[in-house]
C-alpha cells in the first residue's frame, strides 16, 4: 500500500542510474574489447539492462536497453565510433540485441510489478483483517467508531479522521437520533474540506460518513479501494450493533408485556373486591332493604367510605409504579425534616384500623439533619413500610420507626416489627413487583407497595433492604444527606433575644 | 348575606358536576356549572359567583390558566381540585392566585369547610379584618403582637411571631412555601424552605400539645402550611 508515487527528482535519478550502469559497462567492455567477441559483448550488455529493470522498474530498464543498443553499435560494431552498420550480420546482431534487451526488461519489469502488487494486497489484507478482528464482538457504537477511526488514521497516515453517524440507540425513556461523533486526534478539524469522504452505507441507508484529511500526497486507486472497504466494514459493524440492540429491546418489551399481563390480572382482582363492597352497600341503601333508622346504615356507609379510600390507594400505587417503570419518577427535592414527614404519616396511620391493635414507637429526632427529599414521596415510603409492618405483626406487638445519622453522610432509617422472620431467600425479592412471600389470597394489596418504596429510595440515590433480626423483621433504608454537593443547612436561628 | 352564596363549579366530569350540584344545593348554595375553562370564564362574567370550584385538569384551557384569567379582574375565592401527586400543579395554581386546593377524591365535609373558609376570607378582604384569631387554647392577637396559650402568654421571637401572624391572618387557607418565605423573610429567601422547616418546628414546640402531631400548624405535603383556627 505504501508504494507512494515518486517525486520527479527520484524518477530522473532512476533513469540516470540506468544510463550510468550502461556507461560503466561500456567502459569496462571497451577496455576488454580486444579479447571479447561481439556476441559475448552483446550478452554482457544484457546484465546492466536486466539489473536496471529489476532495481528501478520497467521504464528505466527499457531506457537502459536503448542506451546499451546505441553504445554497442557505436563502440563495438564496425565501423567503430559511428552509428552506421555495413555488414548484414552486424545489423542482425543489433536487431536481435535490441529485441532481446527490451523483452528481458519487460519480463523482469512485469515480475517486479506483480511482486509489488502482491505485497500491497497482502498489506491490505492484513489491515482489513486487523480491522475486522478489532470490530468483532463490539456492540457499542462509540467503540466501533473509535476502532474504525483509529485504524483509518494509522493505515492512511491521515492528519485528521472525523466520523459522524446517527446513533441508533433507543432505550426506554431515551430518544433516538443523537449524533455519534468521533474525532482523531481530538482537536478541531482543519478548515478546508476533507480530502476524502466516504459514506457509511448500509441496507437501511446512509448512517453517516468518514471524513479524512492528510498532507498533500495524492490518493492512489488502491488506497481508495481500501478506504471504501473500511467504510463498509464500519457500517456493517454499526448495523450489527443496531440489530443487537433491537433484539434486546424486543426482549425487554416482551418481558414488560408479560409483567403487564400479570399486573392486569392482579389488579383487576384487587380493584373488583372494594368495588363489590361499594356496589352492594350502595344498592342496599338505595333499595327498600335497609330501613332509614336501621343500624345497618352507618355500617354500610363506613364500608363504602373505607373501600373507596382503598380503591384510591390502589390506583395511586398503580400510577406510581407506571411512573417508576417509565423512569418518570423525579423527586421534587427540598430540605425536609424526617420527623415532620413521619409525624404526618403516623397521625394518619393512627386513625386507621390496623394501628388499634399495635403499639407504634417513633424514634425520629427533630435534631436530625434536614434531608434532601421529596416530601410526598418519602411520606409514601414511610406509609408503605409502616403499613406492611403492621400487616404482618402479631397482635399487641410493637412497630418501631427509627432514624439516625450513619457515618456523617447517610441517614439510616429502620422500620421494624416483632413479626415472624421472612425466609432468607425471599429477603431480596420482596421488593420485586407482585412478589409475595405468603399466598396472595390471604393478604390484601397489589404487591406493589415495596417495589414503589425501592423505586422512590433509589430515585433519591439511596438503598433499601430487609433483614431478619432476633426480635423481628426490619426494613432499612439509607438516604444520602448531601445534595448536589451541599450539606444540610444548619438552622438559620436569629440572634435576637427572647 | 340574605341570598344563598353562589358557587360556580368548573369541571369536565359530568358525574362530579352532578354530585356537587346535588350536595351543594342541599346545603343551601346556589350552584352553576361549566364543563370547560372558556365556558367557566364566560359564566363568571355574566353571573359573578361568590366561590369558584375549579378542576385543574380541564381540556383545552387548563385550570391554572383559568385561575390566572379570573385573577385578571376578580378576587373571587378559587378552590382548585386536583389529583394526588400533582403538587407542582397545586403550587402553580396557588401562585396564580387560587386560594385553596382539595385533592381528589375528597370528602364532602372537607369541601364544605374549605368553602366556608373561602367565603369568610372574601368578606374580610372587603371589610374589617379580625385582629384576634382563636384556635383551641391558642389566641393570636395580631394587633398587639401577643400569643397566649390557655391564657398564659407564649414568648415568641420577632420572626416567629411574623411567621405565626401571617399564617394566622390567613387561617384555614393553604399558603405555599414560596408565599410564606417571600412574605416573612423577603423575596430573596423564596427558595429557602429549610427556614420554614426549622421555624415551624420551633413554633410547634412552643404552641402545640404534641409537636409531632400538630393540630393548628398543619403541613400541606409538598405545597406549604395551613393554620387551622376555630370556625
Query: Would you call A201 an interface residue with chain B, using a CB distance cutoff of 8 Å?
Result: no
**Inter-chain residue contact B197 with A379, CB threshold 8 Å:** no
- pLDDT more than 70, % of chain A: 91
What is the reported pLDDT for B140?
92
Show the DSSP H helices in chain B as ranges: 14-26, 37-46, 63-71, 87-95, 108-126, 158-169, 177-184, 193-207
Q: Give the sign of the dihedral formed by CA B52, CA B56, CA B59, CA B61.
A: positive
Query: Would you call A316 an interface residue with chain B, using a CB distance cutoff of 8 Å?
Result: yes
Residue pair A14/A56 in contact (Cβ under 8 Å)? The answer is yes
Model confidence at A446: pLDDT above 70: no
What is the reported pLDDT for A497?
40
How high is the mean pLDDT of chain A?
82
Q: How many CB atoms lie within 10 A of CB A78?
A: 12
pLDDT digits 0-9 by tens, A377-404: 999 999 999 988 988 888 888 999 999 9
Q: How many CB atoms lie within 10 A of CB B105?
A: 14
Domain boundaries in chain A? 8-126, 139-249, 334-480
Nearest to A387 by CA among A329, A435, A303, A446: A446
What is the reported pLDDT for A439?
55
What is the reported pLDDT for B53?
95
Residue given cell 468483532 in the structure block: A136
Model confidence at A489: pLDDT above 60: yes
Query: Would you call A307 an interface residue with chain B, using a CB distance cutoff of 8 Å?
Result: no
pLDDT digits 0-9 by tens, B127-172: 556 788 899 899 999 989 999 999 899 999 999 999 999 999 888 8
Helix/strand/coil for B89: helix
Select A139-249's CATH number: 2.40.400.10, 3.30.450.40, 3.30.67.10, 3.90.1210.10. Answer: 3.30.450.40
Q: Which residues of B touch A (CB under 8 A)?
A: 84-85, 87-88, 105, 155, 157-159, 177, 192-195, 197-198, 200-201, 211-214, 219, 221-222
- pLDDT more than 90, % of chain A: 11
Q: What average pLDDT does this structure show over A130-149?
A: 84
Indicate which of A376, A401, A483, A488 best probes the interface with B, i.e. most B CBs within 10 Å of its own CB.
A376
Chain B contacts of A494, Cβ < 8 Å?
A: 157-159
Model confidence at B210: pLDDT above 90: no
pLDDT digits 0-9 by tens, A63-91: 888 888 888 888 888 788 887 777 777 77
Same-fold call for A139-249 versus A334-480: no
Q: What average pLDDT does this structure show over A287-301?
A: 83
pLDDT digits 0-9 by tens, B19-78: 999 999 999 999 999 999 999 999 999 999 999 999 998 888 889 999 999 999 898 999
* CA distance between the termini of chain A: 90
Residue among B84, B155, B222 whose CB faces A332 most closely: B222
Residue among A319, A346, A493 whose CB faces B85 most closely: A319
Nearest CA in chain A to B204: A340
What is the reported pLDDT for A170?
42
Span of A43-47, A103-107, A487-491 with lowest mean pLDDT: A487-491
What is the reported pLDDT for B203?
92
* The total number of residues written for chain A in this structure: 498
Residue pair A448/A380 in contact (Cβ under 8 Å)? The answer is no
User: What CATH fold (topology level) applies to the domain A334-480?
Assistant: Heat Shock Protein 90 (3.30.565)
The span from the CA of A273 to the CA of A275, in Å, is 5
- pLDDT more than 90, % of chain B: 55
Model confidence at A254: pLDDT above 80: yes
Nearest CA in chain A to B210: A343
Consecutive H or E run containing B217:
strand B217-220
Q: What average pLDDT does this structure show over A486-496?
A: 64
Alpha carbon separation from A84 to A87, A96, B89, B154, B203 (Å, rounded): 10, 17, 111, 138, 129
Q: What average pLDDT does this structure show over B178-186?
A: 92
pLDDT digits 0-9 by tens, A198-252: 888 887 778 788 888 887 777 777 788 888 888 888 888 888 888 888 888 898 8
Amino acid at each position: 500500500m505504501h508504494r507512494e508515487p515518486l517525486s520527479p527528482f527520484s524518477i530522473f535519478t532512476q533513469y540516470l542510474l540506468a544510463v550510468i550502469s550502461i556507461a560503466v559497462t561500456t567502459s569496462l567492455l571497451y577496455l576488454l574489447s580486444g579479447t571479447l567477441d561481439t556476441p559475448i559483448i552483446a550478452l554482457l550488455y544484457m546484465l546492466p539492462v536486466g539489473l536496471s529493470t529489476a532495481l528501478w522498474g520497467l521504464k528505466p530498464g527499457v531506457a537502459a536497453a536503448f542506451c546499451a543498443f546505441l553504445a554497442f553499435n557505436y563502440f563495438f560494431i564496425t565501423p567503430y565510433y559511428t552509428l552506421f552498420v555495413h555488414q548484414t550480420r552486424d545489423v542482425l546482431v543489433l536487431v536481435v540485441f535490441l529485441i532481446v534487451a527490451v523483452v528481458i526488461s519487460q519480463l523482469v519489469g512485469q515480475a517486479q510489478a506483480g511482486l509489488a502488487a502482491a505485497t500491497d494486497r497482502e498489506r491490505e489484507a492484513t489491515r482489513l483483517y486487523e480491522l475486522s478482528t478489532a470490530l468483532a464482538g463490539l456492540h457499542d457504537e462509540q467503540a466501533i467508531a473509535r476502532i474504525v477511526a483509529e485504524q483509518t488514521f494509522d493505515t492512511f497516515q491521515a492528519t485528521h479522521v472525523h466520523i459522524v453517524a446517527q446513533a441508533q440507540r433507543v432505550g426506554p425513556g431515551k430518544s433516538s437520533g443523537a449524533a455519534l461523533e468521533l474525532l482523531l486526534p481530538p482537536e478541531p478539524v482543519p478548515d478546508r474540506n476533507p480530502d476524502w469522504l466516504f459514506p457509511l452505507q448500509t441496507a437501511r441507508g446512509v448512517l453517516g460518513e468518514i471524513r479524512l484529511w492528510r498532507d498533500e500526497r495524492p490518493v492512489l486507486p488502491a488506497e481508495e479501494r481500501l478506504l471504501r472497504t473500511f467504510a463498509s466494514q464500519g457500517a456493517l459493524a454499526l448495523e450489527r450493533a443496531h440489530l443487537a440492540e433491537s433484539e434486546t429491546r424486543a426482549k425487554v418489551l416482551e418481558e414488560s408485556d408479560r409483567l403487564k399481563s400479570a399486573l392486569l390480572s392482579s389488579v383487576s382482582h384487587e380493584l373488583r373486591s372494594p368495588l363489590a363492597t361499594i356496589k352492594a352497600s350502595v344498592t342496599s341503601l338505595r333499595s327498600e332493604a335497609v330501613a332509614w333508622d336501621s343500624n345497618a346504615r352507618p355500617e354500610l356507609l363506613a364500608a363504602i367510605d373505607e373501600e373507596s379510600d382503598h380503591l384510591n390507594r390502589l390506583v395511586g400505587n398503580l400510577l406510581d409504579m407506571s411512573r417508576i417503570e417509565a423512569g418518570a419518577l423525579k423527586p421534587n427535592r427540598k430540605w425536609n425534616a424526617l420527623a415532620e414527614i413521619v409525624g404526618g404519616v403516623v397521625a394518619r396511620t393512627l386513625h386507621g384500623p390496623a394501628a388499634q391493635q399495635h403499639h407504634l414507637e417513633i424514634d425520629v429526632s427533630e435534631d436530625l439533619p434536614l434531608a434532601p427529599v421529596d416530601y410526598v414521596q418519602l411520606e409514601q415510603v414511610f406509609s408503605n413500610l409502616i403499613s406492611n409492618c403492621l400487616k404482618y405483626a402479631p397482635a399487641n406487638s410493637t412497630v418501631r420507626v427509627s432514624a439516625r445519622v450513619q457515618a456523617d453522610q447517610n441517614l439510616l432509617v429502620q422500620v421494624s416489627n416483632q413479626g415472624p422472620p421472612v425466609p432468607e431467600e425471599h429477603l431480596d425479592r420482596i421488593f420485586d413487583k407482585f412478589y409475595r412471600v405468603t399466598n396472595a389470597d390471604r393478604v390484601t394489596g397489589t404487591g406493589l407497595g415495596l417495589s414503589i418504596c425501592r423505586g422512590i429510595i433509589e430515585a433519591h440515590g439511596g438503598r433499601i433492604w430487609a433483614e431478619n433480626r432476633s426480635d423481628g423483621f426490619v426494613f432499612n433504608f439509607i438516604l444520602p444527606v448531601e445534595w448536589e454537593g451541599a450539606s444540610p443547612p444548619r438552622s438559620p436561628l436569629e440572634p435576637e433575644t427572647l | 348575606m340574605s341570598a344563598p352564596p353562589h358557587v360556580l363549579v368548573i369541571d369536565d366530569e359530568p358525574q362530579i358536576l352532578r354530585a356537587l350540584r346535588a350536595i351543594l344545593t342541599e346545603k343551601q348554595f346556589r350552584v352553576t356549572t361549566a364543563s370547560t375553562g372558556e365556558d367557566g370564564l364566560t359564566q363568571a362574567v355574566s353571573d359573578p359567583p361568590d366561590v369558584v370550584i375549579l378542576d385543574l385538569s380541564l381540556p383545552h384551557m387548563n385550570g391554572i390558566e383559568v385561575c390566572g384569567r379570573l385573577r385578571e379582574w376578580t378576587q373571587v375565592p378559587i378552590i382548585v381540585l386536583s389529583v394526588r401527586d400533582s403538587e407542582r400543579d397545586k403550587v402553580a395554581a396557588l401562585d396564580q392566585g387560587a386560594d385553596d386546593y382539595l385533592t381528589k377524591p375528597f370528602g364532602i365535609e372537607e369541601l364544605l369547610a374549605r368553602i366556608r373558609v373561602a367565603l369568610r376570607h372574601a368578606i374580610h378582604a372587603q371589610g374589617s379584618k379580625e385582629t384576634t384569631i382563636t384556635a383551641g387554647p391558642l389566641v393570636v392577637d395580631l394587633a398587639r403582637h401577643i400569643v397566649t396559650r390557655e391564657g398564659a402568654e407564649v414568648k415568641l421571637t420577632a420572626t416567629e411571631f411574623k411567621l405565626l401572624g401571617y399564617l394566622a391572618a390567613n387561617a384555614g387557607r393553604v399558603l405555599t412555601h414560596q408565599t410564606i418565605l417571600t412574605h416573612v423573610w423577603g423575596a430573596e429567601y423564596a427558595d429557602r424552605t429549610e427556614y420554614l422547616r426549622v421555624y415551624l418546628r420551633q413554633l410547634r414546640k412552643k404552641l402545640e400539645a404534641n409537636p409531632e402531631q400538630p393540630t393548628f400548624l398543619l403541613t400541606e405535603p409538598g405545597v406549604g402550611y395551613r393554620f387551622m383556627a376555630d370556625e
